Structure 1
Amino acid sequence: MEKQILVPTNFSKHAWNALVFGLKLYKSISCNFILLNVYDDGRGISDRIPGIKPEEDIDAKKTSKEGLDRIMQGLSFRKENQNHEFETLSLEGDLEEVVQEIVNTRSIDLILLGTEGANVNIHSSYKSKLSKLADVLQNCAMLFIPEDFELTDQSVNEIVFPSTLRFPFQEKELDPLKDLASNSASPIRVLYIDSDGKGLSEEQERLKENLEEHFSAIKNTFHRLTKTTASTGIHLFIESRQSTMLALYKRKQGFFSKLFLQSKGDGIEFDPSVPVLLLKELD
Structure 2
Amino acid sequence: MEKKILIPTNFSKYAWNALIYGLAIYKNQACSFFLFNSYASQHFLGENISILKESEGHTAKEKSEHGLDKLLKGLSFRKENPRHQFETISYNGSLTEGLQEAVDTHGIDLILMGAPGDNAAINSAYDNSITKVIEKIENCPVLVIPELIQLSKDFKREIVFPTNFRNGFKLRELKALIDISDFLNAAVRVLYIDTDNKGMTDEQKAQKENLASLFSDIECSFHTLTKANVTTAVHLFIESRDSDLLALYKRKQGFFSKLFNQTLIEEVDFHASVPILILKEMN
TM-score w.r.t. length of structure 2: 0.91
The SS at the match of 2:177 is: helix
Q: Once the 2 structures are TM-superposed, how far is the Cα of residue 157 of structure 1 from its aligned partner?
A: 2.0
Moved over 3 A (4+): 48-51, 53-58, 258-266
Q: Which runs of 5+ in 1 are unaligned?
A: none
Aligned to 1:186: 186
- Which deviations, in whole Å up to 9, do the C-alpha atoms of 1:144-182 show, x marking residues without a partner? 000011113229721000001011100100000000100
* Structure 2 Cα separation of the partners of residues 212 and 265 of structure 1: 29
Contact 2:163 2:191 in 1 (8 A): yes
Aligned letter for 2:197?
G
Aligned to 1:165: 165
Aligned to 2:4: 4
* Structure 2 Cα separation of the partners of residues 161 and 271 of structure 1: 15
Q: Which runs of 5+ in 2 are unaligned?
A: none
The SS at the match of 2:161 is: strand
Q: Once the 2 structures are TM-superposed, how far is the Cα of residue 270 of structure 1 from its aligned partner?
A: 2.5
The SS at the match of 2:33 is: strand
Aligned to 1:275: 275
* Structure 2 Cα separation of the partners of residues 51 and 198 of structure 1: 50
* Structure 2 Cα separation of the partners of residues 263 and 198 of structure 1: 21
* Structure 2 Cα separation of the partners of residues 67 and 262 of structure 1: 44
The SS at the match of 1:233 is: helix
After superposition, residues 1-283 of structure 1 pair within 5 angstroms as 1-40=1-40, 46-48=42-44, 52=50, 58-154=58-154, 157-253=157-253, 256-258=256-258, 270-283=270-283
CA RMSD, Structure 1 to Structure 2 (Å) = 2.4
**How high is the sequence identity, in percent, across the aligned residues?**
49
The SS at the match of 1:108 is: coil
TM-score w.r.t. length of structure 1: 0.91
Higher strand share: 2
* Structure 1 Cα separation of the partners of residues 7 and 61 of structure 2: 18
Aligned in 2, Cα 1:16/1:263: closer, same or farther, shift over 3 Å? farther
Contact 2:10 2:49 in 1 (8 A): no
Contact 1:176 1:279 in 2 (8 A): yes
Contact 2:124 2:269 in 1 (8 A): no
Aligned letter for 1:52?
S
Q: Once the 2 structures are TM-superposed, how far is the Cα of residue 80 of structure 1 from its aligned partner?
A: 1.4
* Structure 2 Cα separation of the partners of residues 100 and 51 of structure 1: 21
Aligned in 2, Cα 1:100/1:244: closer, same or farther, shift over 3 Å? same
Which range is displaced more, 233-242 or 142-151?
Answer: 233-242
Aligned letter for 1:201?
T
